């Protein structure tokens, strides 16, 4: 390629964009619940251990492949594998990207609808009403599909503006906003009467709850939450400059991601406990439980409750949007480079496919007559399961083996130390993790998920 490849404009922008991929629904609807139920601060410590041991080494590996390959994921793996079968890891990443976009955009679309529903006061009512509202809305044929298309169009409008003018600029706007909104909600939640019990539930260490299942659950969550295993990190790293310190960047991104997850817990539990509602996880937490929590927690200050509810869904939409942008970019970069078409055409192609997958996911919930099922699960649940539980860990596993054992050590070391300009004191530790610790741990998560151990 004769043109110089696009690059992020600043270190701050690069970290916000990559953290934007990592910070998403996983941080808000799964982490708090896992932490609360699995030993509070004890779980958080185990989680941090997993991030250090598995997350950061895997992330650095993807950084190395992306920056060395300087192209979309499929081509980056192809280049480094000299065309051997390892290249399919990169193609698998692009495929996984399409599959995740499909169901992720549906949930992001629900968040958009809920911004307007809370603004219009539609979410006021008893718990049964709110639960019914969600069941009816998510199963209806038109509205959720339109919202899915809407969020994909917004994603499209960012991606077509390119790396610096689109992705980086959007992340610089969205991520700080997300932080401010999150902090505001944490303060509002922690100031409610009786909120201390929620803080205690999230943070009180209880090591007796930490067993091997919890440990492996934390590993899986670290993986999903950091967007590892499907090329998002690799694609973004292809836009890093030669001076970017990879270890340092991975540490910063993991820190931001973990902080947001813990803050999400401090936003959800104190308010839920103050009104005596037991929080759950997944879509039912966000779309059925929390509207009630907000309503009841602020009965004496209805205006605050009203604002908190809107702000919460804006925050969720932003978190989901920045992750969607990274997923979209993985696929767009692939089409634009492999088929030598313009960014606009590549992105349009991706958006259209994503809309179709998203519509199928949305329609599979509630339209049993259409038979949109795979292995007895709705398309929505099947894609969630196949990507989160199978494709991401598998992609990460293969990436570690590929980088640890196949790619020449010199390339890895040069990338790690920025061609000898950094000391690289931790290179040995990193390589040991990638060669042994990560593949073994990921294998264990895998076997655990399928009930083998």
CB of 233 to ligand PHE, least distance (A): 8
Which one, 310 or 325, has the nearer CB to ligand PHE?
325
CB of 257 to ligand PHE, least distance (A): 7
Which one, 69 or 231, has the nearer CB to ligand PHE?
231
Which one, 223 or 273, has the nearer CB to ligand PHE?
223
CB of 279 to ligand PHE, least distance (A): 18
Place of tokens 């192609």: 349
Which one, 26 or 32, has the nearer CB to ligand PHE?
26
Residue nearest to ligand PHE (CB): 24
CB of 22 to ligand PHE, least distance (A): 5
CB of 221 to ligand PHE, least distance (A): 9
Which one, 72 or 326, has the nearer CB to ligand PHE?
326
Which one, 30 or 307, has the nearer CB to ligand PHE?
30
Place of tokens 């997958």: 357
Which one, 21 or 274, has the nearer CB to ligand PHE?
21
CB of 108 to ligand PHE, least distance (A): 10
CB of 232 to ligand PHE, least distance (A): 5
* Residue numbers at the binding site for ligand PHE (CB under 6 A): 21-22, 24-27, 100, 224-225, 227, 230, 232, 323, 326-327
Say if CB 391 and CB 96 are below 8 A apart: yes
CB of 26 to ligand PHE, least distance (A): 3
Report the length, in residues, of the chain: 453
CB of 62 to ligand PHE, least distance (A): 11
Rounded Cα gap, residues 103 and 319, in angstroms: 15
Which one, 98 or 133, has the nearer CB to ligand PHE?
98
Which one, 26 or 404, has the nearer CB to ligand PHE?
26
């Amino acid at each position: 390629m004769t043109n110089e490849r696009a690059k992020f404009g600043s270190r701050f922008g690069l970290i916000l964009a990559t953290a934007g991929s990592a910070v998403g629904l996983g941080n808000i609807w799964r982490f708090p619940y896992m932490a609360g139920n699995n030993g509070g601060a004890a779980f958080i410590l185990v989680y941090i251990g997993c991030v250090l041991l598995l997350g950061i080494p895997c992330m650095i590996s993807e950084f190395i492949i992306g920056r060395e390959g300087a192209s979309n994921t499929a081509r980056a793996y192809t280049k480094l594998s000299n065309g051997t079968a390892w290249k399919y890891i990169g193609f698998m990443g692009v495929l996984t990207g399409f599959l995740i976009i499909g169901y992720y955009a549906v949930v992001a679309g629900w968040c958009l609808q809920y911004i307007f529903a809370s603004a219009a006061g539609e979410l006021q009512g008893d718990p049964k009403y709110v639960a019914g509202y969600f069941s009816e809305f998510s199963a209806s044929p038109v509205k959720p599909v339109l919202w899915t298309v809407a969020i994909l169009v917004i994603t499209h409008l960012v991606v077509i503006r390119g790396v610096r003018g689109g992705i980086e600029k959007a992340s610089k706007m969205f991520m700080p906003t997300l932080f401010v909104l999150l902090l505001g909600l944490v303060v509002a939640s922690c100031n409610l009467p009786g909120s201390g019990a929620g803080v205690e539930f999230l943070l009180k260490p209880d090591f007796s709850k930490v067993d091997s299942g919890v440990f492996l659950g934390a590993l899986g969550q670290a993986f999903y939450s950091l967007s590892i295993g499907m090329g998002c990190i690799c694609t973004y790293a292809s836009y890093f400059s030669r001076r970017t310190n990879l270890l340092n960047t991975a540490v910063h991104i993991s820190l931001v991601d973990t902080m947001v997850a813990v803050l999400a817990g401090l936003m959800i539990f104190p308010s839920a406990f103050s009104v005596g509602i037991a929080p759950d996880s997944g879509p039912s937490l966000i779309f059925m439980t929390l509207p009630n929590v907000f309503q009841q927690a602020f009965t004496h200050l209805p205006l605050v409750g009203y604002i908190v509810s809107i702000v919460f869904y804006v925050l969720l939409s932003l978190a989901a949007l920045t992750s969607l942008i990274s997923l979209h970019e993985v696929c767009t970069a692939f089409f634009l480079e492999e088929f030598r078409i313009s960014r606009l055409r590549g992105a349009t192609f991706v958006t259209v496919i994503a809309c179709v997958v998203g519509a199928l996911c949305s329609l599979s919930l509630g339209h049993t007559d259409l038979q949109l099922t795979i292995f007895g699960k709705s398309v929505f649940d099947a894609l969630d399961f196949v990507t989160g539980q199978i494709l991401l860990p598998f992609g990460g596993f293969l990436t570690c083996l590929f980088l640890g054992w196949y790619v020449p050590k010199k390339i890895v070391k040069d990338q790690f130390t920025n061609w000898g300009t950094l000391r690289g004191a931790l290179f040995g530790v990193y390589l040991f993790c990638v060669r042994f610790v990560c593949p073994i741990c990921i294998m264990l998560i895998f076997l655990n998920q399928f009930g083998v151990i």
